[in-house]
Amino acid sequence: MNRNPPSDYAKAVGAISPQRIVTPDGGLEANVVHIATRTGEMPAYLAKPAGASTLPIILIAQEIFGLHEHIRDIARRFASLGYLAIAPDYFFRVGDPLSAPDIPAIREIILKARDLDVMYDFDATLTFASASGGDSSRTAMTGFCWGGRMTWLYARHNPDLRAAIPWYGRLDGDKTGNQPFWPLDVAKEIKTPVLGLYGGADPSIPLAQVEEMRARLRDVDAPAEIIVYPGAPHAFFADYRESYRPEAARDAWRRTLTFLRAQGVA
């Protein structure tokens, strides 16, 4: 039975694929919580094994579509493996991507989000997770699409992270007052172990940029690896969309879990 109907996804996504993965919440505490930030209460989706404590923490950075069902399902996937997974809605100050009618409207929302605010939002999320049964000494972060970009930036902001896993996060783009840096700009400052997961057929992230990112990380002996899946498009892990590529997605998920264990986040 499909527990989550298409209406739980962002409006701009369009038709939802019937192959979408549905992770049950049996045995989990999974719900929306509210986190105090510098500028108000931020919604977040938290999932963890029911009644458990001292859990490894996985921070999840959402796509451009906001805190919709795909991101909540990913949180439950991690929780079912013994993690405290938490995904904050870091667009809460500037708009609601879930109800935006199309991608241009979502882009308008994203451009209003200040990177520095988002960094502080994840600091607050980590504090909340630590007070909710998480072990802050075993914290990692992962993110998808725009959240992949945020994962790179937060790895630079918080060097105490044990691991960071950005999925097809853009590496370069237009610089603005709200978004003055991109991963390529901060590559040489990253000390956190990183596993980057990218599609070889992603027109929004040219392979030349991926190679440049690799080179800049290599120049400073950063503990980072970037995997590129030949032929995979952007959002190849998004099982609710046509972009989903099961083989690449399964391998990347396997690598993610192996990487987290290797970095002591398990």
Give the DSSP H/E element, type plus range, for residue 227.
strand 224-229
Tokens of 113: 């989000």
Q: Which of 73, 145, 157, 239 is catalytic?
A: 145
- 117 part of the active site: no
Q: Is 102 a catalytic residue?
A: no
Dihedral sign for Cα atoms in the order 226, 80, 55, 70 = positive
Best CA proximity match to 139, nearest among 117, 122, 119:
122
145: annotated active-site residue: yes
> Residues 73, 121, 202, 239: which is the catalytic one?
202
Angle at 253 between CA 248 and CA 255, to 5 degrees: 95
CA distance 201 to 179: 26
Q: Please tell me which residue in 70, 89, 234, 239 is annotated as part of the active site.
A: 234
Interior angle at CA 82, CA 248 and CA 253, nearest 5? 5
**Residue 198 in tokens:** 């990218």
* Active-site residue list: 145, 202, 234
